[in-house]
Amino acid sequence: MATFEALGELLDETLTLPVAGSTYTIPAPSAEVGLRTQAIIQAAAKAAQGGEADAELLDDAAERDLFAEVLGETYPRMIADGVSWPALKHCALTAMIWIASGTEQAETYWRTGGDPSRAAPPNRATRRALARSGGANATKSRASTSGTSTRPAPTPATHAPPTG
């Protein structure tokens, strides 16, 4: 029979965010809040792609409620500390991404200020690995069809000197 470690020992169930000289630790949400967060993110993605989204799910009041829910016990502390609206919103959206997609995606969102165009390009080693795997460029270079190397052949002499 398989032996499993306690789940609490395997998962880091908090998200720690530095804001204006303070550090806020956001606890993992309840399953209900996690499922609702996933549904809202899916609805927002669908709307962004031109699909029809559930207006009730995405209205402003639901957004404010969700921000308080995803920030959990940290939300009232942030309000009491006078955290600005842009900072609170960025923290809440980072927490939503953490809940729905994990720490790595949340870190990327946090680091870019929510602007994907500010994401750092891959480092040199990553670019080389992508190039080797073919992942860096979807367009394949044209292969030679002549069956010869690209080195030019020496030009033959037009007439040979007499031997002898």
Residue pLDDT, tens place only, 90-143: 999 999 999 888 888 889 889 887 766 666 555 565 556 556 655 444 444 445
Instruction: State the pTM of this model.
Output: 0.61
User: How many Å apart are CA 29 and CA 65, to the nearest integer?
Assistant: 13
Residue 59's pLDDT is what? 59
| Residue showing tokens 């990553």 | 126
How many domains is the chain partitioned into structurally? 1
- Residue 146, domain member (yes or no): no
Distance between CA 150 and CA 144 in Å, rounded?
9
pLDDT in tens, 1-23: 777 766 665 566 888 999 989 99
Task: Look at residue 132 and tell me if it is in a domain.
Answer: no
What are the residues whose beta carbons fall under 8 Å from the beta carbon of 106, sequence distance 6 or more?
15, 94, 95, 97, 98
Q: Where is 113: in which H helix or E strand?
A: none
Q: Could you tell me if residue 147 is inside a domain?
A: no
Tell me the residue range of the domain where 41 lies: 14-118
Residue 123, in any domain of the structure = no
Orientation angle between helical segments 85-101 and 103-111, nearest 10 degrees: 150
- Point out the least confidently predicted range of 7-11, 42-46, 48-52: 7-11
Residue 80 lies in a domain: yes
